[in-house]
Structure formats: structure tokens, C-alpha cells
Amino acid sequence: MKRARIQYQQQVLNVTVNDDLSVNTEAGDVIESGAYEFLVPVENPGTIFALGLNYADHASELAFEPPKEPLVFLKGQNTLTPHGKPSYRPDGIEFMHYECELVAVIGKEARNVKRDDALQYVSGFTVCNDYAIRDYLENYYRPNLRVKSRDSLCPIGPWIVDVDDIEDVTNLKLETQVNGEVTQVGTTADMIFDVPFLIEYLSEFMTLKPGDLIATGTPKGLKDIHPGDVVRCEIEGIGALENPVLSEQDFYAQR
């Protein structure tokens, strides 16, 4: 099942999404595609965990050794923006790239969870595009706020897919397109630390809460992104997340 949050006629609704992108409301109504807007699919996002260098090919692409334990950093909720809404390229930078990532959404409190039980604590999976501003990257072992915590630079959605609907989360194809051109292809099979491992690792020293998000890193295939570009991140069995990119001036003028 695909679960989403939408804006429809000044209402915020929890819905399920059909293959033709019509949605079913909790009241039993059907709303046709194009008549609503997607919202961030998690109603109350909690802590946003993100992984650096979690694909060996991406680490190699950047001339880093693969990490021996997860490189985890935190992101602000201000970064989240829904499917279809714009992100922006900051003024005066040299290089901004997308990062197509599988996101695990925590569904119930998790503390000292074992790997074999980890997916029982996940309510579902979604897609994010964790943009990075490479100009300010001091070190992949210390990603700073100006790289990863700007407004709107983590599109997420369009929906959450139930865990039971994913046959094998460790072997899903990821693909990014920029203006219709395929620029990144990978598979979750190449993750260094997979979702069950990450839940076990994190829950050993902190309590995970419902609504927490774990963005699991991106494979190789980086491209500089500019205003006017449309970036589409798709993960097999989950969905496609698409967002336009504006200039900084145009982005904030619309807010």
C-alpha cells in the first residue's frame, strides 16, 4: 500500500494512492490525479538521520576509503519539501548535486533492536533527494550545516510504501534523471550498511521514535544542478520523486 498526505481543497488528508495516481481518502472518497498536491508523507517528522559514503562506488568516486562504521549525521526538518515542490540552488556556489536515497520511516519506538527484528520497527519506505552543496564540504566525516541543512534541499516522497510490499529492500534499483537524461544508476545491494544494520546500530545508543527518518546514502553518479533543471529520483518498487530547481531569488520570492 502507498500511503500519502495531500492538500485538497484547503484540507490535509491521509490517503492511499492508486496506480493511476488517484487517491482514496479515509472517508471512502476518490480524488482524481491532478486535483490535489502531495505533502511531506510523514505527518510529524522526527530526527532525520543521514548516511555519508554508504555506497562503496560513491566513496570511490570521491576518492575516499569506504567507512568501517556508519557515517551518520543529522538534518533539520526545514530541509524537507514534498514531491513536485521546488528546491533551489544557492547563489554564488560552484557545485550542487543530488543524492537519490532510500529512506526508512520508523513506525514504533526502537531501543536495542537486533538486526533480525529491525524491519518490524519500520512503517515503510520512501524516497528522498538529499542535495549537497559541495563548496562547503570540509570532510565527509564532518558534513556541515551549509552542505546539508538548507531550506527545501531534501525533497521526500511522494508516499510511503509498506514494508510488506517490498520483496527485498536490499536489492532495489535506484535511478536519477536530470531533465529526462539518466545520470545516476545504482542498487541498494551495494550499500555498505543496510537498513537492518543501521537500525541495530542506532538503537544501541539511542531510542528511535515513530516518525524518525533514516536516509541511507546514494550510489555514484553526481551531476551539477542549476536553476531550471528538473530532477527525478526513482527507486524500484517505491516510487519516483520529482522536483524543479529554482534560483535562490526566485525560490524565496515564492515563499
* pLDDT tens digits for range 120-166: 999 999 999 999 998 766 555 555 677 788 999 999 999 999 999 99
Predicted local distance difference test score (pLDDT) of residue 49: 97
Residue range of the domain that includes 168 = 40-254
Residue 63 pLDDT more than 60? Answer: no
Nearest-angstrom CA–CA distance, 19 and 3: 12
Is 86 found in the same domain as 65? yes
Predicted local distance difference test score (pLDDT) of residue 228: 98
Total tally of structural domains belonging to the chain: 2
Predicted local distance difference test score (pLDDT) of residue 56: 79
Lowest-confidence pick of 15-19, 52-56, 190-194, 203-207: 52-56
Lowest-confidence pick of 133-137, 167-171, 185-189: 133-137
Is 114 found in the same domain as 4? no
Predicted local distance difference test score (pLDDT) of residue 152: 97
CATH number at residue 104: 3.90.850.10
DSSP string, 36-49: SEE--S-SS---EE
Is 1 found in the same domain as 83? no
Q: Which residues pair with 55 in a beta bridge?
A: 191
Is 240 found in the same domain as 212? yes
Predicted local distance difference test score (pLDDT) of residue 255: 85
Predicted local distance difference test score (pLDDT) of residue 92: 93
Are 59 and 67 a contacting pair, CB within 8 Å? yes
Question: CB within 8 A of 37, min separation 6: which ones?
Answer: 6, 7, 8, 82, 84
Is 33 found in the same domain as 44? no
Predicted local distance difference test score (pLDDT) of residue 67: 83
Is 143 found in the same domain as 19? no
Is 59 found in the same domain as 29? no
Note the pLDDT tens digit of each residue in 35-62: 999 999 999 999 999 998 899 766 566 5
Convert 142-164 to b/e letters by CB count within 10 Å (16 or more is b).
ebeeebbbbbbbbbbbbbbbebe
Residues of the chain with pLDDT > 90, as a percent, come to 85
Is 250 found in the same domain as 171? yes
Backbone angles phi, psi at 250, to 5 degrees: -65, -40
Predicted local distance difference test score (pLDDT) of residue 2: 98
> Mean pLDDT throughout 209-226?
96
Is 94 found in the same domain as 152? yes
Is 97 found in the same domain as 197? yes
Residue 175 pLDDT more than 60? Answer: yes
Is 189 found in the same domain as 126? yes
CATH number at residue 12: 2.30.30.370
Lowest-confidence pick of 62-66, 153-157, 215-219: 62-66
Nearest-angstrom CA–CA distance, 244 and 42: 21
Using alpha carbons only, what angle is made at residue 179 by residues 7 and 217, rounded to the nearest 5 degrees? 75
Is 57 found in the same domain as 86? yes
Nearest to 138 by CA among 128, 129, 148: 148
Predicted local distance difference test score (pLDDT) of residue 249: 97
Predicted local distance difference test score (pLDDT) of residue 145: 73
53 compared with 173, residue with greater pLDDT: 173
